[in-house]
Structure 1
Amino acid sequence: MGDVLTELPPSSRFFQEDLDNFATSSPPLSSPSLLLTNLKPDKPLHPSLLIIALSSPSLYVFHHISSKTLIGSLVLPEIPFSANLIGPSLGDKSCNIYALNGADNLTLVVSVQCSVSAERSIAVAKLLIGDQIIPERVLILDSVQNQNFRGRLAPDEINVFKLETSAERKGLSDDGRGGSSLLKGLDYFPSGSVLDGLAAALLARCQMRKIRGTLCVSWPRHGVSVVAMVMSLLQRNVLHGFDLSSIGDSMDESSRFSSIKNYPFDSDMYT
């Protein structure tokens, strides 16, 4: 007779997924919410342009624009805010909404400085482009994901592409000179390449609501050169009345600005 204390126990007749059925399920996540300091809470905001900054270069540029006013924020319950500073910082995990001062029409900027999981992208897109914020036009700024790009991307070569909704392209066809394009002269995103995540959800939201939307993606994801390119693109095509020259004084700082979007998703709710 074998020693029952040292003998290996028999293998379980249950699969791991069967054993998981007996475990207590995690509580459902609370829905994201939008907090706005709207002077007329019963009426939605109607910006002529809504800019949503997702890429590190675009976040850097809008962080250094001083003529803006904080008017709200997007709250994700799974994102901890305990390590955030009191004042706005590029290292914070936040999603603040600003109104640009001095613009001819209302222009809003959403700085998404936190990782948004794929499961939450549609819910976030519905909040940013929904009942409380109804924009006439939307510009989304993101970076190219190397693994989703069909072709080779050299680390020292600057690339920028765009995708547009049907409403934006229809506006172009109505103008014989193509003068209504928000981003003139940019190549379209190559066929066969893929975009996903929050940027894709936002562009799809614009398409569903027949809003003139443009998604601009840049490569590389970091560096002084790509920050200068994004800044020039905004100055030339989008923010005509804004002086962005002061941002150049702190361009060296951008070389030390690591990717906010690459920080690991550290919420305990997803582990």
Structure 2
Amino acid sequence: MEDVLTELPPPSRFFQEDLDNFATPPLPLQSPSLLFSSPKPDQPLRPSLLVIALSSPSLYVLHHISSKTLIGSLLLPEIPFSGNSIEPSLGDKSCNIYALNEAENLTLLVLVQCPVSAERSNAVAKLLIGDQIIPERVLILDSVQSQNFRGKLAPDETYVFKLETSAERKGLDGNGCGGSSLLKGLDYFPSGSVLDGLAAALLARCQMRKIRGTLCVSWPRHGVPVVAMVKSLLQRNVLHGFDLSSIGDAKDKSSRFTSIKNYPFDSDMYT
């Protein structure tokens, strides 16, 4: 007969989720918000093109366009301001909004230099493409995650692919009129590969609102060759009136941008 006094006690009959019921729940995060440098306009911004940079190469190229004007920022309460410089820098954890030109042909640039988790992606996408910013066309620039790509990506070769909303593929604007594809000649993202996170949320937002949206993904995630490829793509198809020739040239040592990092997150949201 077992000695109940000296026998080891049985394991806890509580599951981990039951034990969590006794812990104080964390405070909910505040919603992200948009802050503009001038008083909030009565009418929403209606750019003809909204370019959202998520990848390191696209951040580098757009950061070095000298003619842009800072008009606002997207604020995430979980991202501290400490460590950011006074002037916009590639080393900051920030999300700044810039204007390239005025009035009828307004182009907005959004440089997402802070990590955005999967849980916050939908909220951020609704702010950038929502009531305060209503674009006619959207271009999202991101990098390919090798673990999500069906196939082999050689580290010494550059690749670029695209995904489009139905409105962009049909060549329709908000009024049902036709128009050419924004990134003509690019291959589509291979079937069986997946994209997640903020890029997927932004493209899904465009699809739901019937906006002409294009998601362009490049490989590798860092390096001078991919910077040159992204710069050429923007100069040829998107930013025709801007001289990008001096950005990331051989004399510019910072074009190696060793200090810029991407922020991968696990996500269950795919497109």
Distance in 2 separating the partners of 1:193 and 1:38: 42
Cα shift readout 1:140-195 (whole Å, capped 9, x = no counterpart) = 000001000000000011000000001011117xxxxx971111110000001000
Instruction: Confirm or deny: 8 A CA contact 2:47 2:136 kept in the other structure.
Output: yes
How far the C-alpha of 1:251 sits from its partner, in A, is: 4.0
Tell me, what secondary structure is at the counterpart of 1:126?
A: helix
Tell me, what secondary structure is at the counterpart of 1:73?
A: strand
Distance in 1 separating the partners of 2:205 and 2:265: 26
Distance in 2 separating the partners of 1:26 and 1:80: 18
Partner of 1:128: 128
Partner of 1:262: 263
Distance in 2 separating the partners of 1:240 and 1:118: 34
Instruction: Confirm or deny: 8 A CA contact 1:138 1:211 kept in the other structure.
Output: yes
Shifted more, 102-111 versus 187-196: the winner is 102-111
Partner of 1:234: 234
Identity of aligned residues (%): 82
Map of 1:1-20 to 2, 5 A cutoff? Answer: 11-20=11-20
How far the C-alpha of 1:41 sits from its partner, in A, is: 1.6
Partner of 2:244: 244
1:205 to 2:205 alignment: yes
Map of 1:1-271 to 2, 5 A cutoff? Answer: 11-38=11-38, 41-101=41-101, 105-171=105-171, 180-249=180-249, 251-262=252-263
How far the C-alpha of 1:104 sits from its partner, in A, is: 7.3
Cα shift readout 1:188-217 (whole Å, capped 9, x = no counterpart) = 000010001000000000000000000000
Amino acid at match of 1:224: V
Distance in 1 separating the partners of 2:50 and 2:252: 25
> In 2 relative to 1, CA 154–245 (structure 1 residues): closer, same or farther, beyond 3 Å?
same
User: How many residues are matched?
Assistant: 257
Q: Which runs of 5+ in 2 are unaligned?
A: 173-177, 267-271
Shifted more, 81-90 versus 241-250: the winner is 241-250
TM-score by length of 1: 0.88
TM-score by length of 2: 0.88
How far the C-alpha of 1:218 sits from its partner, in A, is: 0.2
Distance in 1 separating the partners of 2:170 and 2:39: 34
Distance in 2 separating the partners of 1:263 and 1:72: 25
Instruction: Confirm or deny: 8 A CA contact 1:222 1:258 kept in the other structure.
Output: no
Distance in 2 separating the partners of 1:152 and 1:202: 26
Instruction: Confirm or deny: 8 A CA contact 1:224 1:252 kept in the other structure.
Output: no
Shifted more, 31-40 versus 68-77: the winner is 31-40
Amino acid at match of 1:87: E
Instruction: Confirm or deny: 8 A CA contact 2:91 2:259 kept in the other structure.
Output: no
RMSD of aligned residue pairs (Cα, Å): 2.4
Distance in 1 separating the partners of 2:87 and 2:12: 55
> In 2 relative to 1, CA 212–38 (structure 1 residues): closer, same or farther, beyond 3 Å?
farther
Amino acid at match of 2:84: N
